[in-house]
Chain A
Amino acid sequence: MGIAETIGVALRNLWANKLRTALSVLGIVIGVASVITMISAGSSAQKQITSDISALGSNMIMVTPNLKPGTQGRNYQHLLTMSLADQIQAAAPAVSAVSPVAQMEGRIIAGGSSASAVITGITPAYTRIVSTRIALGRSLIQSEIDAAAHSIVLGAEAATDLFGSEDPIGRHVALVSGDHRAPFTVVGVTESKGALLWTNADTQAFIPVTTLLYRMSPIKRVSTYFCQASSAQAADVAVAQVERFLASVAGTPDAFSVASQASLIDAIKQVTATMTLLLGTIAGISLIVGGIGIMNTLLTSVAERTREIGVRKSLGACNRDILLQFLSEALVLSMLGGTVGMLLGWLGGAGIARIAGWPVSVDLSSVVAAVSFSTAVGLIFGTYPALQASRMDPVQALRYE
């Protein structure tokens, strides 16, 4: 008997039991849809995070005291000085710029309005390293750093909060942090960049790092050194040079953590890949449950059609014909489920990405994997009932009431 006829018989039998067919297909639909949804949501999230990290800066390397449990980073905080920035620059030829950065919580007051903001102390190199663009006025200049001047560059959102549509350049504001209160002159406003990961440059305000350290904050320590590798290719070399220098300064490689954007992206990718695998596996288990549903349906069908099997055998069907007939029913069920599940999974993945504001990313390989997995599930769980049907003794089967 040909394949087309076998599938034709399978379709007629499945059609004759529409509700049962639909229910057993549903198991596979849910399985495939959830696998594809999970994997595509995972890959959407990964894309978003990766692009966020890329947007943080260009060829950026972040040097922070190593505060991981079990390390001695806290003992080396006295090393976090302004001059360390220059030393890093001098010791690492692959590093083209270094900006010491310090941050504190603060409040900016302008006339009647005020806004809370993260006050970030920077040097001119910072703007270049994190690729901040100036929308109005100018960025901070070296002479302001040297003089610990009271100049301030506002984040786009902070500027709007304080001055609305008025031009803030040249306006005076008061900066309050803890017990300190100091007057500042607005020299620039940054272009809006939006929230990236856990930071939002738009709500920050930037002042010379020297002003922050020596005039505003009781803590006289730099919190992070933002470095820039001379090129993307030089990033790894730059990291190694910086690490070697810092290890020699501290006398231990554990004192500082040196992370490039690329290594950050790699780390994040690893985390999201693990999460995706985990979610995909859980979803995959539901596919197996779907396979059990198919097996149950087929076993019922084989039992119900015992007499039909006997009749077909008496008319010349050999064991292989019966085997193929039931296997093709299993395949039709699982492929039908796979196709519907694929569409639903695609919609689900796109829906989650849209709600979360991630780029839509439905991985073709996840679709291929889910559909071929569901087909395999159909084959595996269909084999036992099909074998049972094919091995039936025709005499017994014909007697079956």
Chain B
Amino acid sequence: MISLQNITKVYSMGPVEVRALDDVSFDISDGDYVSIMGPSGSGKSTLMHIVGCLDRPSSGRYSLQGEDVSTLDDTELAHVRNKRIGFVFQQFNLLPRETVLGNVEIPLMYAGLGGRERRRIAAAALARVGLADRMHHRPAEISGGQKQRVAIARALVNSPSLILADEPTGNLDSRTGGEILAILDKLNAEGCTIVLVTHDRSVAERARRIVQLRDGAVERIEDLGVGRSAGRGPEFGGHS
């Protein structure tokens, strides 16, 4: 259960104060699939950074599975990101010098796992996204869709309570993007909580709910119907 209560984020740029988020409140229950939408400048990114524990709200309370994380220090936040949040970025953000397997191992490494166990868990995560045969390639040697699947494997390798996807299809063609969304559908069907940030309505509609932001505030929350995404979409894994 994720709960945002009266979240406000204010940046001060010299004498000017910019109110990026203004009194945002909503809940996301476990296993939910929520899209955050809004035009650029609406506060999507800021909200994503706060939900992802990359940033702290100026005021308000953010609780993640009952724990108030809005007041944690840097090290505690790093710990939360490591254990409970998996990130999927628009630019994939794989480390070019590491192999595919090495990239997926990184969260496990920061969690303090030993080499053998890391490799086992990372390999299993890669198998879940259908990339068992690409483990020893470098990111430069695989396609964009495959890169994003590696990123998803990396995001879920520590069994997080939340997967946070920021425009995950933004750098992909529509077919490959569809494959990625299908993987997210499948993960959600398996019980993963997913928050997807996008400006694309058709992508956002994969979720059960859409949180529409405007000028740093929640404009409306659309309920697209419980179970709408669950079990839907093609099987993924065979489309590489």
Contacts and interface: CB of A to CB of B under 8 A. Distances in A.
Contacts of B82: 315-317
B118 to A, nearest CB: 9
Interface stretch (B47-55, B60-68, B191-199, B225-233): B47-55
B55 A321 contact: no
A398 B97 CA distance: 17
Interface string B112-136: 1001000000000000000000000
Given A315-B106, A398-B93, A320 B54 contact: no
A193 interface: no
A315 B122 CA distance: 14
Contact of A314 (B52, B79, B109, B111): B52
Contacts of B208: none
Nearest to A312: B106
Interface in B39-93: 49, 52, 54-55, 74-75, 78-79, 81-83, 87, 89, 93
A311 B115 CA distance: 21
Interface in A245-300: none
Nearest to A319: B74
Contact of B107 (A12, A16, A315, A318): A315
Contacts of A313: 54, 78, 81
B193 to A, nearest CB: 17
B154 interface: yes
Given A395-B49, A395-B55, A316 B95 contact: no
Contacts of A16: 97
Contacts of A317: 78, 82, 110
A316 B154 CA distance: 12
A343 B55 CA distance: 49
Contacts of B106: 312, 315
Contact of A319 (B78, B93, B97, B154): B78
B138 to A, nearest CB: 11
Interface string B181-196: 0000000000000000
Contacts of A5: 109, 115
A13 to B, nearest CB: 7
Nearest to A6: B109
Contact of A316 (B49, B81, B93, B115): B81
A398 B54 contact: yes
A68 B74 CA distance: 72
A137 interface: no
Contacts of A398: 54, 89, 93
Nearest to A307: B93
A310 B87 CA distance: 12
A308 B98 CA distance: 11
Contacts of B55: 394-395
Interface residues of B, number: 26
B31 to A, nearest CB: 23
Contacts of B98: 12
B112 A314 contact: no
A315 B81 contact: yes
Contact of B154 (A1, A12, A315): A315
A376 to B, nearest CB: 27
A316 B110 contact: yes
A311 B111 CA distance: 15
Q: Which of A2, A5, A311 has the most CB of B within 10 A?
A: A311
A314 B110 contact: no
A16 B107 CA distance: 22
Contacts of A13: 97
B107 A316 contact: yes
Contact of B93 (A12, A311, A320, A321): A311
B54 A395 contact: yes
Contacts of B49: 395
Contact of B78 (A2, A308, A316): A316
Contacts of B78: 313, 316-319, 321
Contacts of A2: 112
Contacts of B87: 314-315
Q: Which of A16, A307, A315, A321 has the most CB of B within 10 A?
A: A315
B153 to A, nearest CB: 12
B43 to A, nearest CB: 13
Contacts of B109: 1, 5
Interface in A12-69: 12-13, 16
Interface in B207-240: none
A313 B78 CA distance: 7
Nearest to A320: B75
Interface in A301-347: 307-308, 310-321
A316 B86 CA distance: 10
B60 to A, nearest CB: 17
A316 B83 contact: yes
Contact of A318 (B54, B75, B93, B95): B75
A313 B54 CA distance: 8
B54 A314 contact: yes
Contacts of A312: 95, 106, 110
Given A307-B93, A314-B81, 5 more contacts: A1-B109, A311-B95, A314-B93, A318-B79, A319-B74
21 contacts: A1-B109, A13-B97, A16-B97, A307-B93, A308-B95, A310-B93, A314-B87, A315-B81, A315-B82, A316-B78, A316-B82, A316-B107, A317-B78, A317-B82, A317-B110, A318-B74, A319-B78, A394-B55, A395-B49, A395-B54, A398-B54
Interface of A: 1-2, 5, 12-13, 16, 307-308, 310-321, 394-395, 398
Interface of B: 49, 52, 54-55, 74-75, 78-79, 81-83, 87, 89, 93, 95, 97-98, 106-107, 109-112, 115, 154, 158
